[in-house]
Chains A and B, each alone.
Chain A
Amino acid sequence: MAEISFKREIESLKLGDGQTFQGEGIIAVTKALLQSGVSYVGGYQGAPVGHLLDVLVEAKEEMQRLGVHVEPCMNEAAAAAMLGASVNYPIRGAVTWKSIVGTNVAADALSNLASPGVKGGALIIVGEDYGEGASVIQERTHAFALKSSIWLMDPRPELSNIVRMVEKSFELSEASNTPVMLELRIRACHMFGAFEAKANRAAPQSTAQRIPEPAAFEYMRLAHPPVTFIQETDKFRRRLPAAQDFIMEHGLNETRGPQEGEIGIIVQGGLFNALNSRLEAAGLSDVYGDVGLPVLVLNVTHPLAPRQIEQFCLGKKAVLVVEEGQPDYLEQAIGQILRKADLQTRIFGKDVLPMGGEYTQRVLGQGLAAFLRANGRDCGALDAWLASLAAHEEMVRGMLAAPMPARPPGLCTGCPERPVFSAMKVLKGEIGPTHVAADIGCHALATFAPFDQGNSILGYGMSLASAAAVSNTQARKPVSIMGDGGFWHNGLLTGVAGSVFNRNDGVLIIMNNGYSSATGAQDLPSSAPTDDGRGAGVDIEKTLRGMGVKAISRVRTYDIARMIKTLREAILSPAKGLRVIIADGECQLARQRRIKPQNAKALAEGERVVRTRFWVDPEVCTGDHSCIRLSGCPSLTLKPNEDPLRKDPIAHVNNDCVGCGVCGDVSHAAQLCPSFAQIDIVQNPRWIDRFREKWETKLIRRLSGGARA
């Protein structure tokens, strides 16, 4: 079961003709898939598109009614390969993942999908994680579209337009026998808006109406010599022109504003709203997007239709290409089109706009002002706005000179992975540093303060593989960290099998928290099977033993002393081979979501419930914060020192504490201080609790006095 319940979203997926859908961008895309009559949907979870799959996984009944097969795939390669169903059969399918990382993983299958092409519409929805809040490397999905001849949509962020583009993508895919990618930026995925819905369409062939006969043997459907050159030729001889015709005929790109004009702008659809706000500031548009100069909004950024570009640029002195990220693929393509058509329109683009980084309104305003100025247009309003921003910033700097302390994301309160990193930090103090191969997942947050560790991140589930040469060229064994998510995504084969096969030395810590936690607590093969979940209870330890790993230890993560001991032995052991430590501890977010209602119910029914939390003794704490440097728990914080003789703030545990005990255990294990205490609050105590409490208190009262001078 995923982190969020999608009850309300599921209802919105069932809306019929003419009803108004209100909701989040990515759910609107999901609804558009159902309106398009998909037979299957797959993908791999990840921000910002994860909800697409989560909601469909939860919407079992509606999927059954429509005959849609829904599959959370093991990784993006599996998701891309799933589109293979549309290579042979005229059924529509969609898959989703986080780009660029997921697209990288999917690359092999994508190439082999694109080569034979598809009969049924195949759509890949990628979350383009670029700019503010991005959590992955910054590269453009566009490159994959270009190299594999996959069409790329970048819809203007308005729900009815996004929905239309999803629907049109399937038609485009079928009209040109080519898979289509649709990229959505983070804010567009999380944008709440409205559109007029259509009824969902059940596919003619689906889980409900199965295809009676398999496809006939046809070599052209295989991405395999001798047909691959024919397929490669087909991409540009037939499929490309078909797509360009479709784009023109169906008006997928939008021309806005006056037909004529000396200058114009060509913009990626996804950036139009931000651009419009700056045109507004320049006095060249309004809040309805009635632009005062010609603007070509590219909802499809690959392929371009040369005829459309020529028509737009004809008679124009200059155009500005607004394209986020590098390389400047669109600018290059437009330049080539104009050169071949012998049009002398000058192209502005990355000369007035930055090559890299997010195109915020401010960046766009600067670029737009430069473009207008270079073409003899008035940019006074924009200049005034930019100058006022600079002046304001100068004033603010005068008062707030030092940057505010950074607030990177961190592990949650009570996270079971924290004690592993605490143990590693304590051990580092004892035996010195080791090479740490980090990975993708919540545990990557240990690269931030207070743990500040990790020598490399090479990809999801890649930690152990990334340590292969390190383990053979370094005196001390490296430690690789992998989550259970990364283990199933990739690490099992590229890491563990590779390490066993090559007899590498090394220590692998697998964080077995029971879910794909960083992406929203989706189930994994090793998740516990539940009534409403997908967990299959596959045992990681047995899997490892089956692969020939002999040295496996299981440690409950919260047992810090044992974790330190196990790690020390593993790192310093002279024995050869891979040593795996399975760090068991359920994701605390998921755990709290599970036990909180149970405890509340038990409490209301008068049952005995013990609530545990930790506490820092304010009289004993001296305000050095060593404990925080070994923990970083959000609930272990600071408060002003009450002692008039001391100034530094002291450590303090707030009421978010879930009583995991890591702070107390760390101070124990590292011999920090005697400030920590565990507080057990016995609610609805039984008579035996009360009896004990009464007599002990009485005796203690009687005996005190002397010691309490």
Chain B
Amino acid sequence: MSAPIRILISALGGEGGGVLASWLADAAMADGYVAQRTSVPGVAQRTGSTTYYVEMLRAEGRTPVLCLAPTAGEVDLFIATELLEAGRLIQAGFVTPDRTTIIAPLRRVYAITEKIAMSDGRADSDLIVEAAKRFSKAHHIGDFQAVADKAKALLNAVIFGLACRALPLSPEACRTAIKLDGRAVEANLRGFEAGLAYDGDEAPVEAPAAEPAPSVFDAKIDAMIDGLPQEARLHARVGVERLVDFQDAAYARLYLERLERFAAMGGADGAFVSELARHLAVRMSSEDVVRVAQLKLREARLARVRAEARARQGDIVRVTEFLKPGPDEFLSILPAPLARALLGLVRLAGLERASVPMRVHTTGLWGFLRLRALASMRGLRPVSLRAAQEKAWIEGWLNLVEQALQKDPAAAREVVETAQLVRGYGDTWERGHANWRRIAEEVIAPMLGGAQNAAHFADAVLQARLAAVADPEGKRLDAMIASLKQVAAPAAA
């Protein structure tokens, strides 16, 4: 007696998983099987995880008793429309090497918990793909979304084509099922045929090896970059380009001088200088309003917007920027004494939280002129309050890096990484600075001063940095610092 073929589909609400299940069941019936399908949509129809389940059987003229839910270890075909959902059901044990064929696209739809992380909370896609390959009997994993886009069809139709090959179903029965459904028949047939004919992803066009681009800098700068360790040169080169664009060649030279100084120190290997080059360039090109205006005036931007928004030939694309700098951000681009005086007045008036909401139409003439006026303040930047603040911060940070390097190179690398905390705008910028100051004063300084067990220096800085991006309220960082003090207390006593 034959056993049913069991198919489990996992999808996100609204992705056509239900339609796919109905196609599969209808195709099975067209091919003479008895088929039953069911699902657990519930509120999952609103973007949550959801599953569909199909059983098909060559029945012997009697009504079979088919299951309504999948059994771990008894799934013949597992289909996911998204990679994390594949991982979820692999983890739940539904994919087994003795019988399960898996079909999963490489595409990711990030879950909310991945998206709200303050740094990078994304699940490891490579690991899921590896698990899918290892724990399945056969696997079809690829960039099926690209196949669908190319065929101007939806992903579920392409997957139906792939599933047809993995099952004892005739393509004709599948086509019949699509026609029977009656919705978007042509597009779905296109997608189905594309899936049916799929034979591996097109090899990605190899990007030409990163030839060192012909230098746009003067010979002195080139020589300075070449003097850095090999591993650091790529970051240094990008950094120099960024800083020339941000300010001028003299400013880029300052950047390289700083790097050179560290490269010459004991304990500074190539990887260390490379990371320092990366963070230093970002910190030295901090996004003040002048920089933001400058970035938003780039001509290449509109072409990019057009492509992303899928504007057709002849469509007109208008861009409206949402800008709302606070008094700090706005006034700090003025020369330092003037900015301090004005900020003092703002504080007196209790207007720290006030802001200048602007919707700037950058594709229009007036909007362009406003941004252009802002960007043209670049010449004033070196004497601005913001520049002075940034310079003070960078020097403080580099000073800590230098001290740490003398004590423990591994810890120095972690001190370099703390620069990642300082970024963004408004509250984010302030929170980043506050967190950094806490780590500098309550973690790094005591370690450098010998008040705490220096054997854990690198680890303590790493843990503090991770704690700082664990939650916006800073609870984890509080706890981390408190525990560090507890450990230190007995030693001090």
A671 touches B324 (CB 8 A): yes
B426 touches A405 (CB 8 A): no
Kindly state the separation between the CA atoms of A624 and B298 in the bound complex, as whole angstroms.
Answer: 23
B16 interface contact, C-beta 8 A: no
Docked complex: B317-339 residues within 8 A CB-CB of A: 317-326
Tell whether A450 pairs with B67 under 8 Å between CB atoms, given A191-B38, A682-B316.
no
B143 interface contact, C-beta 8 A: no
Tell whether A450 pairs with B322 under 8 Å between CB atoms, given A132-B40, A188-B68.
no
Q: A689's contact among B49, B62, B111, B316, by CB below 8 Å, is which? A: B316
B368 interface contact, C-beta 8 A: yes
Residues of B within 8 A of A133 (CB): 40-42, 44, 50
Q: List 13 A-B contacts (CB under 8 A).
A: A188-B38, A190-B40, A288-B60, A361-B72, A389-B72, A670-B427, A672-B425, A674-B292, A680-B318, A683-B312, A703-B372, A704-B299, A707-B297
For chain A, the count of residues having a C-beta within 8 Å of the partner chain is 111
Kindly state the separation between the CA atoms of A403 and B127 in the bound complex, as whole angstroms.
Answer: 12
Q: Taking the nearest CB of chain B, how far is it from the CB of A706, in angstroms? A: 7
A378 interface contact, C-beta 8 A: no
Tell whether A708 pairs with B68 under 8 Å between CB atoms, given A191-B38, A192-B37.
no
A637 touches B38 (CB 8 A): no
Residues of B within 8 A of A681 (CB): 309, 311, 315-317
The residues of A with any CB-CB pair to B shorter than 8 Å are: 25, 47-48, 129, 132-135, 157-158, 160, 185-188, 190-193, 272-274, 276-277, 286-289, 360-362, 385, 388-389, 392-393, 395-396, 399-400, 403-412, 442, 445, 448-450, 518, 613, 615, 617, 619-620, 622-626, 628-629, 632, 634, 636-638, 644-649, 655, 664-665, 667-668, 670-674, 676-683, 685, 689-690, 693, 696-697, 699-700, 703-704, 706-709
Kindly state the separation between the CA atoms of A160 and B305 in the bound complex, as whole angstroms.
Answer: 56
User: Nearest 3 pairs between A and B by C-beta?
Assistant: A409-B48, A133-B40, A289-B65
Q: A645's contact among B60, B68, B239, by CB below 8 Å, is which? A: B239
A288 touches B64 (CB 8 A): yes
Determine, out of B89-97, B211-219, B225-233, B457-465, the stretch whose residues face the partner at the interface.
Answer: B89-97
Kindly state the separation between the CA atoms of A362 and B69 in the bound complex, as whole angstroms.
Answer: 11
B36 touches A620 (CB 8 A): no
A622 touches B36 (CB 8 A): no
Residues of A within 8 A of B50 (CB): 133
Kindly state the separation between the CA atoms of A619 and B314 in the bound complex, as whole angstroms.
Answer: 27
Residues of B within 8 A of A626 (CB): 424, 427-428, 472
B131 interface contact, C-beta 8 A: yes
Determine, out of B169-177, B195-203, B357-365, the stretch whose residues face the partner at the interface.
Answer: B357-365
Residues of A within 8 A of B362 (CB): 677
A193 touches B36 (CB 8 A): yes
One digit per residue, 1 when the CB lies within 8 angstroms of any chain A CB and 0 when it does not, for chain B 105-133 equals 00001111111111111110001101100
Give the one of A407, A622, A623, A704 with max B CB within 10 A.
Answer: A407
Give the one of B49, B112, B239, B296 with max A CB within 10 A.
Answer: B112
B322 touches A277 (CB 8 A): no
B19 interface contact, C-beta 8 A: no
Residues of B within 8 A of A287 (CB): 1-4, 57, 64-66
B452 interface contact, C-beta 8 A: no
One digit per residue, 1 when the CB lies within 8 angstroms of any chain A CB and 0 when it does not, for chain B 162-199 equals 00000000000000000000000000000000000000
CB-nearest residue of chain B relative to A520? B45
B282 touches A645 (CB 8 A): yes
A392 touches B322 (CB 8 A): no
Seed contacts A392-B72, A404-B87, A645-B242; 19 additional CB < 8 Å A-B pairs: A132-B69, A187-B68, A273-B68, A287-B65, A389-B93, A405-B114, A408-B112, A412-B47, A442-B46, A445-B43, A615-B309, A617-B295, A626-B472, A638-B114, A644-B278, A645-B281, A665-B322, A672-B425, A681-B316
Residues of A within 8 A of B326 (CB): 671
B310 touches A655 (CB 8 A): yes
B12 touches A407 (CB 8 A): yes
Q: B46's contact among A188, A411, A624, by CB below 8 Å, is which? A: A411
Residues of B within 8 A of A700 (CB): 363, 365, 368
CB-nearest residue of chain B relative to A286? B1
Kindly state the separation between the CA atoms of A697 and B45 in the bound complex, as whole angstroms.
Answer: 44
A407 touches B49 (CB 8 A): yes
The residues of B with any CB-CB pair to A shorter than 8 Å are: 1-4, 12-13, 22, 25, 36-50, 53, 57, 60, 62-69, 71-74, 84-85, 87-88, 90-91, 93, 96, 109-123, 127-128, 130-131, 134-135, 234-235, 238-239, 242, 245, 278-279, 281-282, 287, 289, 292, 294-299, 301, 305, 308-312, 314-326, 355, 357, 359, 362-365, 368-369, 372, 375-376, 420, 423-428, 432, 472
Kindly state the separation between the CA atoms of A409 and B41 in the bound complex, as whole angstroms.
Answer: 11
Kindly state the separation between the CA atoms of A648 and B116 in the bound complex, as whole angstroms.
Answer: 12
Kindly state the separation between the CA atoms of A612 and B315 in the bound complex, as whole angstroms.
Answer: 12
Q: Taking the nearest CB of chain B, how far is it from the CB of A690, in angstroms? A: 7
Kindly state the separation between the CA atoms of A210 and B78 in the bound complex, as whole angstroms.
Answer: 55
Kindly state the separation between the CA atoms of A135 and B36 in the bound complex, as whole angstroms.
Answer: 24
Residues of B within 8 A of A706 (CB): 376
A405 touches B84 (CB 8 A): yes
B69 touches A274 (CB 8 A): yes
Q: Taking the nearest CB of chain A, how far is it from the CB of B117, in angstroms? A: 7
Kindly state the separation between the CA atoms of A704 and B294 in the bound complex, as whole angstroms.
Answer: 11
Q: Taking the nearest CB of chain B, how far is it from the CB of A696, in angstroms? A: 5
Q: Taking the nearest CB of chain A, how far is it from the CB of B41, in angstroms? A: 7
Residues of A within 8 A of B372 (CB): 703-704, 707
Tell whether A696 pairs with B281 under 8 Å between CB atoms, given A47-B42, A186-B42, A405-B111.
no
A273 touches B66 (CB 8 A): yes
Kindly state the separation between the CA atoms of A708 and B297 in the bound complex, as whole angstroms.
Answer: 7
Q: Taking the nearest CB of chain A, how far is it from the CB of B111, in angstroms? A: 4
B47 touches A649 (CB 8 A): no
Tell whether A648 pairs with B120 under 8 Å between CB atoms, given A187-B69, A287-B65, A518-B43.
yes
